[in-house]
Amino acid sequence: MARTVRFHEYGGPDVLRLEDVEAGEPGPGELLIRVDAIGINRAEVLFRGGQYIEPVKEFPARLGAEAAGVVEAVGADVTGFEAGQPVSVVPAFSMNDHGVYAERAVVPATAVVHRPDGLDAVAGAAVWMPYLTAYGALVEVGGMRAGDTVVLTAASSSVGLAAIQIARRVGAVPIATTRTRAKKDALLEAGASEVIVTGEENVAERVLGLTGGRGAEFVFDAVAGPGVLDLAKVVAPGGTLFLYGAVSGEPTPYPGFELGMPALNMRTYTVHEITGDPQRMRRAEAFVSSGLRSGAFRPTVDRTFGLDEIVEAHRYMEAGAQVGKIVVTVDH
């Protein structure tokens, strides 16, 4: 039996239960992982509350798509992995099919990457979702290059911090936004070229001023909602507004017509565009691993919790005060 987090109904953090469940044996194309650390993501908060892009198909439901640990068993038709290897699990499956909030978890081998030397389990659970998300949108899909400007909302999130480092890595200019001054210094220390405090400053005026009126080639937005009208004003002609989250919970208008039909690209994006495509995933893994080896990429862990503190971990995620990743550790 393995201690496993499940929930039997939609609701707040209190619906999470730590229960003894059979981990099972890996089938064809699967691995059994001893989970040592779990990366907490907002997707799990939304899934638990019935607000995710896919509903729960059956209760009790599991959670989690990002973790680090060690291979315990290898299913049929799996190559490249063997028992005892340190690995990370990346978001490449539906939480209706698998979940890594557990002491042990069976996951698809296609969702597992080898953990680079020197990367411990906590860092290994904090790296892949943020860096794959930011790399995938900005570099793989968007083609961000040296000299480009990217505006980042929710910049103190793990994805936002990863995007700052990735922009720096390719020679682009990251401009971070934050609601209050509380996180401004942390964002500057993380590498942001400029930080715009949205509660005190006009985003469009600041970005246009910083870019000589050109605007930003990319806006990478996790908030969505009515704010996209202001964000669209700062996109340079032919630039792209990526929506990779909807933290606002409000309807999101299309701003193109209201702004006079500018040459605006606006698209939604999820990390599954990368993790679900073997060629893109191969390039992404090489890019992120290279950054880790060189020291250009340093995952930021805000706080760790124990597995028996999973309710508190979700409450902390919902409070939104973190700078970086929330990680849950698993004692064996």
- Residue 249 pLDDT: 83
| 280, pLDDT greater than 90 | yes
- Residue 289 pLDDT: 94
CB atoms under 10 Å from CB of 11, counted, come to 12
CATH number of 2-127+299-329: 3.90.180.10
Comparing CA positions, the residue from 289, 301, 300 lying closest to residue 162 is 300
Q: Confidence band (pLDDT; 50, 70, 90) for 263?
A: confident
Query: Cα–Cα distance between 319 and 103 in angstroms, integer?
Result: 26
Terminal alpha carbon distance of the chain: 12
> Highest mean pLDDT range out of 95-104, 112-121, 172-181?
95-104
- Residue 262 pLDDT: 86
The residues facing 2 across adjacent strands are 21
282 Cβ partners below 8 Å, 6+ apart?
none
- Specify whether the CB–CB gap between 265 and 239 falls below 8 A: yes
Q: Confidence band (pLDDT; 50, 70, 90) for 28?
A: very high
CA distances from 101 to 131, 167, 314 (A): 21, 31, 12
The per-residue pLDDT of the chain, averaged, comes to 95
Query: Cα–Cα distance between 159 and 40 in angstroms, integer?
Result: 12
| Domain boundaries defined on the chain | 2-127+299-329, 129-272
- Residue 46 pLDDT: 93
For 265-275, write each residue's pLDDT tens digit.
999 999 999 99
- Residue 164 pLDDT: 98
CB atoms under 10 Å from CB of 15, counted, come to 16
Average pLDDT over every residue of 121-126: 96
| Tokens representing residue 210 in the block | 């910083």
| 258, pLDDT greater than 90 | no
- Residue 291 pLDDT: 95
For 186-219, write each residue's pLDDT tens digit.
999 999 999 999 889 999 999 999 999 999 999 9
CATH number of 129-272: 3.40.50.720
Task: Name the CA radius of gyration of the chain, rounded.
Answer: 20
